[in-house]
Chain A
Amino acid sequence: MLTLVVGTCLPVVLATAMASAATAAEPKTQAAPAPPGPNNCILCHGDKDLWEGEKAKLLVTEADLAGDIHWQSGMRCQDCHGGNPRAEDIKQAPHAAEDGFRKVASPKDVPEFCGKCHADIEYMRRYRPSPRTDQLAEYWTSDHGHQLKTAGDLKVATCISCHDRPHGSGAERHTHGVRPVSDPASLVYRTRVAKTCSTCHSDKKLMAGRQYHGHPLPCNQYDEWTQSVHGKAMLDKGDLSAPTCNNCHGNHGAVPPQVDSVANACGACHGKVAKLFAGTRMRHKFDLVGLPGCATCHGSHEIHQPSDAMLGMQSGAVCVRCHEQGKFGATLAGAATARKLRADLERLKSGIEQAQDTLSEAEQLGMEVSQPQFTLRKASDALTNARSLIHAFQPDPVEKALAGGQEVVAEVQQHADHALAEHRTRRIWLAASLAPILLVILLLLLYIRSLPAATGGVE
């Protein structure tokens, strides 16, 4: 899976990485792209009749290239592939080595091919003031890079596995057009990263027999991620800030986070919780017994929306896993603390609900309760804060936060009860004031009856 993730990001990496590699191989800064001239490459490579069967991968039309960031920037075939684009006949040897033709004979050649430019800071600066040029270097540190270089595994992801698939076939084929990462049509646009990684990492045949640090690579990471709170946030709600593969595994230098760095990976977004956890004895014990930090309780790819049900010693709670039977040295005192914290959380939740119900009732009766409603948010904030503080694995800060919430609830409940009581009082006073009004009306009517009736016409 991780390999796939890396593969997803490889195209971008490769582009950059290639540039880096090229820089290493050719210390001299490359020349700018040649001025536009005749480009006869398309004459042959754009002719569908010439490229059939096995050779179909060499078919490149101008339509394919239209979306390519390189093509759009004015680069032409020879700027990447070398050769002589002015050759009008195949006999003129457009692919001659003396013309600098660069053959990509194997996936092994891809990283350096792209890295020729993308690792060359001076070259890349022509297109962007502060470009990344570390992708190639990162790639060689990734598990993909390692497998490619040391094991000669030609099926691992390289740049074009993720950024472009110009020479595939059928669904595997992507147009010969590398798009910027910010382009929603790019294979590595945020919402497409996971799917791109899954192209390899969900392929059981491809993953069969592959291992990472002695563990077989699974194939269900994508399915798990789509069911996770992160996947749903991105795919269902369109939240582009939700994490996808590369946020935890890296992109060009993709590797799975190590056991002792999981918390740091999660902490990249969940900073407060990670900071709380980092200073705990629990963290220390996790490290000692080799538990993967946050993932121990929350899982890795299939991370669900945390709930209060995770806390405590009842069925379904995560504390039970260790504290019930003293696994990994977990104590019974910890179990008692978990029970108490859960009970206190429930108490505050129930208090908030009750106060809200009373406020709603008062509001429906027309009472003005907007201020207490606003105040009640502080209790909800306290509840959220307490839930975060649980990751400190110390009861005191949690209890303090919950106690603050209870104070707010008590104050709001008092206001809400007062509003209801006032509404009742108003009805009593209404009845009390209507009585004299009706009495006056009655007396007036009686007096009116005693008056002479309407007189006849005026004489």
Chain B
Amino acid sequence: MSLASSENPPEKLRWPGRLGAFFQQRLGLDSLAALAAKKHVPVHRTTLFYFLGGMALFLFGVQVATGILLSLYYKPSPDQAFESVRAIMTEVDFGWLFRSIHSWSANLLIGILFLHLLTTYMMRAYRRPREITWMSGVVLLGVFMAFGFSGYLLPWNRLAFFATRVGTAIAGSVPVIGEYALLMARGGADITGDTLARFYALHVVILPLATIGLVGLHLFLVQKHGISIPQRVIRKHGGEERVPYMPFVPHFLLRDMVGWYLALGILAALAALFPWELGQKADPFGSAPAGIKPEWYFLFMFQALKQLPAQLWGIEWLEGEVVGVLFFGFCGLVVLLVPYVDFGASRGRPRWILNFLAALAVGFFIFMTAWGLR
């Protein structure tokens, strides 16, 4: 008997049951339960990759929770930002834990998102009708990288200050809109308190709102189109309907939870054993520290741009940095539009060229990042 369908809960139920019935009646939870009961997850050799999305969602939740706690003490002004973060690290109860988890979790999240993007690409899960799911995911990756970039400046330490100066200057080299974008980002000609205020607003208001909308759209589309199954698996089983599956609830959800607990333990260990360092307070008039580097997920671009000469082939108007920035912008656009670049999608066949490009991109990313970290 469905409790939700009943207008009056049976009187024989005790208080926990009656409480459940109370919410089911008012929130319609039984329809959600029915939806969950119908949801299946294909089981095959690469099912493990399906957990990456859930892991990213969990880490996002960690970010929201720890971010809210940090915002209770953080003061977004050049005079107080560094001191407030130091107070969080040294005076606020468990402040060091929340800040370290926030920082570590942000980096793990970006890493998980990269993997999620790569595995989705390799499984061709972007093909019709999931083009918008893919694109919303790519945009979400961009949003989370923007989270990282804006959050990096907030402690107002020396390294972040100068890295942000370099980073925004690179963005400013984009033709036509670069100068405008630079002024928009910095709120002036240089990194100042205005920049900090903008980055803070971006980090705690604009990007979270965008994320909520995009995550909502992404999850809705995942729910609507179901989980994609690689063509290879479908062919092996002789049709999509013949591929083995497990119920989402409880089978997949419980496995998801194992991953989440594991991630929680890893985050706790990282925070306790390797607390996120604070560095020295930024001094706008001081000299830039040697070896300025952005966060690891921007390092491949930074390192590549560093290798480009001021002028390509000695042509005065062909500035190396501008060409590099445009190249990476073009690459980002190609990744966004992958569903429409994959011309073999209509025949449902894998294309070796796509695998080759992916391998090339991953190799480039790893090589440049390792080079930059050296």
CB within 8 Å of B: which residues of A? 366-368, 370-371, 426-427, 429-430, 433-434, 437-438, 440-441, 444-445, 447-448, 451, 454-459
A-contact bits for B290-305, CB 8 A (1 contact / 0 none): 0000000000000000
Number of contacts between A and B (CB, 8 Å)?
A: 77
Q: Check if A448 sits within 8 Å of B278, measured CB to CB.
A: no
A residues less than 8 Å from B90 (CB atoms): 368, 371
Q: Does B264 belong to the interface (CB within 8 Å)?
A: yes
From A370, A437, A455, give the contact of B261 (CB < 8 A). Answer: A437
Q: Check if A444 sits within 8 Å of B261, measured CB to CB.
A: yes
Report the minimal beta-carbon distance from B160 to chain A, rounded to whole angstroms. Answer: 15
Q: Check if A456 sits within 8 Å of B244, measured CB to CB.
A: yes
Q: Check if A448 sits within 8 Å of B251, measured CB to CB.
A: yes
Q: Does B283 belong to the interface (CB within 8 Å)?
A: no
Q: Check if A455 sits within 8 Å of B245, measured CB to CB.
A: yes
In the complex, the 10 A-B pairs of residues with the closest C-beta atoms, listed nearest first: A457-B242, A366-B275, A430-B272, A368-B89, A454-B43, A426-B272, A437-B265, A454-B244, A454-B246, A441-B261
Instruction: With CB as the reference atom, state the residue of chain A lying closest to B157.
Output: A370
Instruction: With CB as the reference atom, state the residue of chain B lying closest to A422.
Output: B96
A residues less than 8 Å from B275 (CB atoms): 366-368
Q: Check if A430 sits within 8 Å of B86, measured CB to CB.
A: no
Q: Check if A454 sits within 8 Å of B265, measured CB to CB.
A: no
Report the minimal beta-carbon distance from A140 to chain B, rounded to whole angstroms. Answer: 50
Number of interface residues of B (CB under 8 A): 35
Report the minimal beta-carbon distance from A367 to chain B, rounded to whole angstroms. Answer: 7
A residues less than 8 Å from B264 (CB atoms): 437
Known: A426-B272, A445-B258, A451-B250. A457 touches B265 (CB 8 A): no
B residues less than 8 Å from A457 (CB atoms): 237, 239, 241-245
Q: Check if B272 sits within 8 Å of A454, measured CB to CB.
A: no
Q: Does B273 belong to the interface (CB within 8 Å)?
A: yes
What CA separation (Å) do A456 and B96 show in the bound complex? 49
Q: Does B257 belong to the interface (CB within 8 Å)?
A: yes
Report the minimal beta-carbon distance from A286 to chain B, rounded to whole angstroms. Answer: 45
What CA separation (Å) do A438 and B257 show in the bound complex? 12
From A366, A370, A429, A448, give the contact of B258 (CB < 8 A). Answer: A448
What CA separation (Å) do A271 and B264 show in the bound complex? 62
From A366, A447, A458, give the contact of B241 (CB < 8 A). Answer: A458
Known: A368-B89, A371-B86, A457-B243. A448 touches B43 (CB 8 A): no
10 contacts between A and B (CB under 8 A): A371-B90, A427-B272, A433-B268, A434-B269, A441-B258, A441-B261, A444-B257, A457-B244, A457-B245, A459-B241
What CA separation (Å) do A433 and B264 show in the bound complex? 10
Q: Does B312 belong to the interface (CB within 8 Å)?
A: no
What CA separation (Å) do A459 and B237 show in the bound complex? 13
Give chain B interface residues in 247-276, CB to chain A under 8 Å: 247, 250-251, 254-255, 257-258, 261-262, 264-265, 268-269, 272-276
What CA separation (Å) do A429 and B94 show in the bound complex? 12
A residues less than 8 Å from B239 (CB atoms): 457
Q: Check if B96 sits within 8 Å of A368, measured CB to CB.
A: yes
Q: Does B79 belong to the interface (CB within 8 Å)?
A: no
From B40, B245, B255, B268, give the contact of A434 (CB < 8 A). Answer: B268
A residues less than 8 Å from B251 (CB atoms): 448, 451, 454
Q: Does B223 belong to the interface (CB within 8 Å)?
A: no
